[in-house]
């Protein structure tokens, strides 16, 4: 099974939407709060080059924003 | 043939859909996704009947309300509307919809600065959503660009997160709610720079500074975050040439939300007279739907 990580901040609505979507599809994911977890923030910036949330990692693929079609494609949903 | 097609699922579109659903009309609500500006709003303190809420909270309540009223937002990006005989064809990316009336509630999107570095560093320190990305700037120095309510709300949100906040204002004063202006002026962390025109956002992999012009002189500051809040543009490109727009691109409506084409109504931030207030968008959404229903009744006569 693919390893899914969601890098988010508590106030970011699109992050909540992304996490809700994974829950709805019963996909396990690791949630990283980059507002507090500085290690996670570093990982996100290094791997994605991004300073914007959400960043979603599915195995080695980096998705910026809640890009539903990309998620569906990588996880073969729908 | 639909009674109405609602385009957009923010505050105005959702309100129209609630009314359409309760009136048992044959309708669809089309949007790229559920949720408009209210979703990314921080505190909401001026909605009658609600003392205090947040965008996220309101959006959750709204989703519950959608279930209760059996509203399903259809994922569709609308490209064009055409008139045919005495009805309309709404042309989406996936499908076409024949309908007797249309309600346009497509809202607006953030205005861009159009300076070098802005596009390159978007999501690399440049953001248009302070409550989304703001917490990433904890302990950093940031610049907020703009001089209105949204810019001041961004500063207010960041005041416990960032270590220093520059507010870059093009005019010689702040414009907006008095309580916000007072809040910001009295905060030691905030430095307001007036009469300043941002000219460039600089950095390497991520943002590390910003250049601006003040009284003919170019100056620069070191910041790791740039939050742009300089107003919004209506999302109305798809009706250009079909409906009458005002000079800023908002759909021209009369006091009954009717556009220049009878049978087509517009509500919320995409329409003229917008004030970026949830209660106004909701009110206009309700009015647009009711007026559309009256128009339908007049067709049957």
Residues A39-62 pLDDT 10s = 999 999 999 988 889 999 999 899
Q: Which residues pair with B167 in a beta bridge?
A: B144, B192
Whether the per-residue pLDDT at B40 is higher than 70: the answer is no
Q: What is the pLDDT of residue B59?
A: 83
**What's the pLDDT score for residue B44?**
82
pLDDT band at B38 (very low <50, low <70, confident <90, very high): low
- Greater confidence (B45 vs B209) lies with B209
Buried-exposed string B60-98: b where 16+ CB fall within 10 A, e elsewhere: bebeeebeeeebebebbebeebeeeeebbebebeeeebe
Rounded to the nearest angstrom, the minimum Cα separation between B130 and chain A is 9
- Give CA angle at B203 (B199, B205), nearest 5°: 145
The pLDDT, as a whole number, for residue B39 is 65
- Judge whether B152 and B128 are in contact, CB under 8 Å: no
Q: What per-residue confidence (pLDDT) applies to B170? A: 96
Side-chain-facing half-sphere of B189: CA atoms under 13 Å: 19
CA B102 to chain centre: 20
Provide the pLDDT for residue B34.
73
A34: chain B residues, CB-CB within 8 Å = 135-136
pLDDT digits (tens, 9 = 90+) for B272-286: 987 888 899 999 999
Which has the minimum average pLDDT: A5-19, B35-49, B136-150, B211-225? B35-49
Report the mean per-residue pLDDT for chain B. Answer: 93
Quote the pLDDT of residue B32: 83
Residue A51 has its nearest CB partner, among B55, B56, B206, at B206
Work out the minimum CA distance from B134 to partner chain A, whole angstroms: 9
Please report residues of B whose CB lies closer than 8 A to that of A7: none
Which of residues A78 and B78 earns the better pLDDT score?
Answer: B78
Nearest to A51 among B42, B59, B136 (CB): B136
B35 inside 8 A of chain A by CB = yes
Contact B124 A49 (CB under 8 A): yes
Please list, in sequence order, all residues whose beta carbon lies within 8 angstroms of the beta carbon of residue B78, skipping any fewer than 6 positions away. Answer: B7, B30, B90, B91, B92, B93, B106, B238
The pLDDT tens digits for B222-250 are 999 999 999 889 999 999 999 999 999 99
Of A14, A49, A53, the CB nearest to B136: A53
Closest Cβ opposite residue B123 in set A17, A34, A51: A51
pLDDT tier for residue B84 given thresholds of 50, 70 and 90: very high
Continuous segment of H or E residues that includes residue B166 = strand B164-168
Mutate to test the interface with A, among B35, B120, B132 (most CBs of A within 10 A): B132
Q: What's the pLDDT tens digit per position in B153-207?
A: 999 999 999 999 999 999 999 999 999 999 999 999 999 999 999 999 999 999 9
User: Looking at B206-282, which runs of residues are DSSP E strands?
Assistant: 207-214, 217-221, 225-228, 232-234, 264-266
Query: Domains in chain A, ordered, with CATH?
Result: 4-74 (3.40.30.10)
Partners of residue B135 in chain A, C-beta under 8 Å: 9-12, 34-35
Instruction: Of B255, B249, B275, give the one whose Cα is nearest residue B177.
Output: B275
Q: Quick: pLDDT tens for B99-120.
A: 999 999 999 989 999 999 999 9
Of all helices (H) and strands (E), which one includes residue A30? Answer: strand A30-33
* Closest chain B CA to residue A41: B136
């Amino acid at each position: 099974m693919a390893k899914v990580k969601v890098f988010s901040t508590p106030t970011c609505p699109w992050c909540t939407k992304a996490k809700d979507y994974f829950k709805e599809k019963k996909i396990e994911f690791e949630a990283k709060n980059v507002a507090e977890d500085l290690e996670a923030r570093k990982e996100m910036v290094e791997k994605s080059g991004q300073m914007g949330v959400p960043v979603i990692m599915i195995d080695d693929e980096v998705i910026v924003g809640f890009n539903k079609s990309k998620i569906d494609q990588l996880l073969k949903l729908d | 043939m639909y009674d109405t097609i609602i385009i957009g699922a923010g505050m105005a579109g959702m309100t129209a859909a609630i009314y359409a659903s309760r009136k048992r009309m044959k309708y669809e609500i089309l949007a790229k996704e559920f949720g408009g500006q209210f979703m990314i709003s921080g505190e909401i303190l001026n909605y009658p009947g609600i003392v205090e809420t947040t965008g996220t909270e309101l959006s959750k309540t709204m989703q519950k309300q959608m279930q209760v009223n059996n509203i399903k937002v259809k994922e569709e990006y609308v490209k064009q509307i055409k008139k045919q005989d005495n009805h309309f064809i709404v042309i989406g990316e996936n499908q076409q919809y024949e309908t007797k009336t249309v309600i346009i509630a497509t809202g607006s999107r953030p205005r861009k600065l159009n300076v070098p570095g802005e596009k390159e560093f978007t999501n690399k320190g440049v953001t248009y959503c302070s409550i989304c990305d703001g917490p990433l700037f904890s302990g950093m120095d940031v610049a907020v660009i703009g001089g209105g309510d949204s810019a001041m709300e961004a500063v207010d949100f960041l005041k416990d997160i960032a270590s220093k906040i520059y507010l870059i204002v093009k005019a010689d004063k702040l414009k907006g709610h008095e309580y916000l202006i007072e809040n910001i002026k009295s905060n030691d962390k905030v430095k307001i720079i007036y009469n300043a025109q941002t000219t460039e956002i600089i950095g390497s992999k991520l943002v590390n500074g910003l250049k601006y012009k003040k009284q003919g002189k170019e100056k620069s500051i070191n910041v790791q975050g740039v939050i742009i809040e300089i107003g919004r543009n209506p999302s109305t490109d798809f009706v250009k040439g079909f409906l009458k727009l005002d000079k800023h691109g908002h759909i021209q409506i009369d006091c009954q939300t009717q556009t220049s084409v009878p049978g087509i109504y517009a509500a919320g931030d995409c329409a003229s007279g917008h004030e970026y207030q949830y209660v106004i968008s909701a009110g206009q959404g309700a009015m647009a739907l009711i007026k559309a229903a009256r128009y339908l009744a007049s067709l049957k006569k």
